[in-house]
């Protein structure tokens, strides 16, 4: 078998990992439509406390009053998004609410899904804990005993509402991402389900990542997981999320929410590799609050979806707090990937770095949409923004829309943006070294996205490179 034939079979195997479908089996499913009764049914099925139901209903009221996002320069088209046409909540057919701790206790169809995605192997080889969400709820949750003994909590959000109400009630959509933030944050607040709760006590360093994997299996559904991370003083944790879904003829909606609290001297890295199918609208809200000397890192790879609108935000509220964003977006035919970053420097001596990489081909569109705001009094702060866009053809589009507000004189701010096509000279040089046209372009792209892959554990770096290669070959979706 030739090398090219071997590569074809390898690509087919990787494609199968993400694009397979399972016959839907659910224990409980809410009908389409978004009403107060829908919200009450979801809350009742989860056996939630009254305070959470009240928050859901207030969020629903806000959602109904707020208009759809509109009027942004180059904004993706959201006209197809009708929340009354989606199934907002599907509870999978798993006996144990909140997920089993033994992989072999999962129903065969769900276990087979995550086996194909490689979740058990990742847990054994590189992770401190794993959560796996299927449709609207976590079905598997496990944490290594060595971290549980140190007081680290890693569980699904539904269970955290019941087991740790004092912490969740204090932080959940109050200080970081209130439902009033935007229309899809309000939608999320009304019908959220599943997600991860991570709590790291003071002084504890979790030196292996924890991971959550989110899988949408059903056509026409919405997934609304909530992730809440609280890293106490001088603690450290790396959280990784992976996302995928098979492709359907009708649209799916993903509208998750991430809230991160980085206390004094703590360090949180949040890494995402998203490979939603090309019928999915990915409309997330992610934000971190960072105290004195704390450090926040966002590492993000956005491969799939029909439309993505995602702008992780960090509020640097303590002296010497820092923030780092590294993102890669890939858009092919029929895709509009609108991503970026927001950083608010609200204290002196704060630092931030934003590195954004985007690739577009076959008429796909990528866009960097960013905001950096340095407040009055944030003296001796610094920020560096670097946006690089790579296009494969004349039909593709890429825009850079940075917005920088400086309200303090004694600061250091730099911005750099480049947009260009793959150079014929570079391809010719690599071909002269024995590579064919496709191999040459893939090598150039691999070097282009290296800043993000080197920040990921090796298993995820390899997977991200393979996903990019598959997108370049038109093998997915």
Q: Is residue 473 part of a domain?
A: no
Q: Is residue 428 part of a domain?
A: no
Q: Is residue 2 part of a domain?
A: no
Domain count, the chain: 1
Q: Is residue 36 part of a domain?
A: yes
pLDDT in tens, the chain (477 residues): 444 434 443 444 444 444 434 445 555 678 888 999 999 999 998 999 999 999 999 999 999 999 998 888 889 999 999 999 988 888 765 555 555 455 555 555 555 555 554 544 444 444 444 555 555 555 555 555 677 788 999 888 999 999 999 999 999 999 999 999 999 999 999 999 988 999 999 999 998 778 777 666 656 678 899 999 999 999 999 998 876 655 555 678 989 999 999 999 999 999 887 877 788 899 999 999 999 999 999 998 887 789 999 999 999 999 999 999 988 888 888 999 999 999 999 999 999 999 998 888 889 999 999 999 999 999 999 999 999 888 888 888 888 898 999 999 999 999 887 776 666 666 665 667 777 766 666 666 666 667 666 766 655 566 566 666 656 654 333
Token couple for 440? 């040459």
Q: Is residue 438 part of a domain?
A: no
Q: Is residue 148 part of a domain?
A: yes
Per the structure, the complete domain to which residue 407 belongs is given by 25-423
d(CA 372, CA 116): 41
Contacts for 396-400: CB closer than 8 Å, 24+ residues apart: 396/331, 396/360, 396/361, 396/362, 396/363, 396/364, 396/365, 397/360, 397/363, 397/364, 397/365, 397/366, 398/358, 398/360, 398/365, 398/366, 398/367, 399/74, 399/365, 399/366, 399/367, 399/368, 400/367, 400/368
Q: Is residue 43 part of a domain?
A: yes
Q: Is residue 433 part of a domain?
A: no
């Amino acid at each position: 078998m030739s090398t090219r034939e071997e590569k074809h079979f390898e690509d087919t195997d990787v494609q199968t990992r993400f694009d397979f479908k399972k016959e839907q089996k659910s224990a409980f499913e809410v009908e389409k439509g978004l009403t107060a009764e829908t919200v009450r049914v979801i809350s009742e099925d989860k056996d939630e406390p009254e305070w959470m139901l009240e928050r859901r209903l207030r969020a629903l009221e806000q959602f109904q009053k707020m208009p759809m996002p509109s009027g942004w320069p180059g904004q993706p088209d959201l006209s197809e998004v009708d929340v009354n046409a989606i199934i907002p909540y599907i509870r999978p057919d798993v006996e144990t609410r909140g997920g089993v701790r033994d992989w072999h206790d999962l129903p065969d169809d769900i276990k087979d899904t995550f086996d194909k995605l490689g979740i058990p192997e990742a847990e054994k080889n590189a992770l401190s804990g794993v959560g796996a969400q299927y449709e609207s709820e976590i079905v598997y949750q496990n944490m290594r005993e060595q971290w549980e003994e140190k007081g680290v909590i890693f569980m699904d959000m539904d269970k955290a509402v019941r087991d740790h109400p004092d912490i969740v009630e204090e932080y959940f959509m109050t200080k970081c991402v209130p439902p009033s933030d935007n229309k899809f944050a309000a939608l999320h607040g009304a019908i959220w389900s599943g997600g991860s709760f991570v709590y790291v006590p003071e002084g504890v360093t979790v030196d292996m990542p924890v991971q959550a994997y989110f899988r949408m299996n059903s056509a026409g559904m919405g997934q609304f997981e909530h992730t809440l991370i609280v890293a106490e003083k001088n603690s450290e944790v790396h959280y990784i999320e992976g996302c995928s879904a098979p492709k359907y003829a009708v649209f799916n909606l993903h509208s998750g929410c991430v809230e991160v609290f980085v206390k004094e001297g703590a360090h949180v890295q949040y890494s995402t590799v998203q490979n939603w199918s090309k019928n999915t609208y990915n409309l997330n809200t992610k934000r971190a609050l960072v105290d004195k000397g704390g450090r926040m890192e966002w590492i993000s790879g956005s491969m799939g979806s029909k439309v993505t609108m995602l702008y992780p935000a960090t509020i640097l509220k303590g002296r010497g707090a820092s923030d780092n964003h590294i993102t890669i977006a890939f858009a092919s035919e029929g895709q509009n990937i609108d991503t970026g970053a927001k950083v608010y420097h609200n204290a002196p001596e704060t630092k931030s770095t934003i590195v954004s990489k985007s690739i577009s081909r076959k008429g796909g569109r990528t866009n960097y949409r960013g905001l950096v705001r340095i407040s009055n009094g944030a003296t001796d702060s610094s920020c560096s923004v670097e946006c690089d866009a790579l296009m494969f053809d004349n039909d593709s589009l890429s825009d850079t829309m940075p917005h920088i507000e400086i309200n303090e004189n004694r600061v250091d701010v730099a911005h750099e943006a480049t947009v260009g096509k793959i150079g014929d000279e570079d391809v010719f040089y690599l071909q002269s070294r024995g590579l064919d046209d496709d191999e040459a372009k893939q090598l150039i792209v691999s070097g282009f996205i290296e800043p993000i892959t080197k920040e990921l554990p090796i298993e995820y770096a390899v997977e991200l490179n393979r996903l990019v290669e598959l997108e370049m070959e038109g093998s997915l979706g």
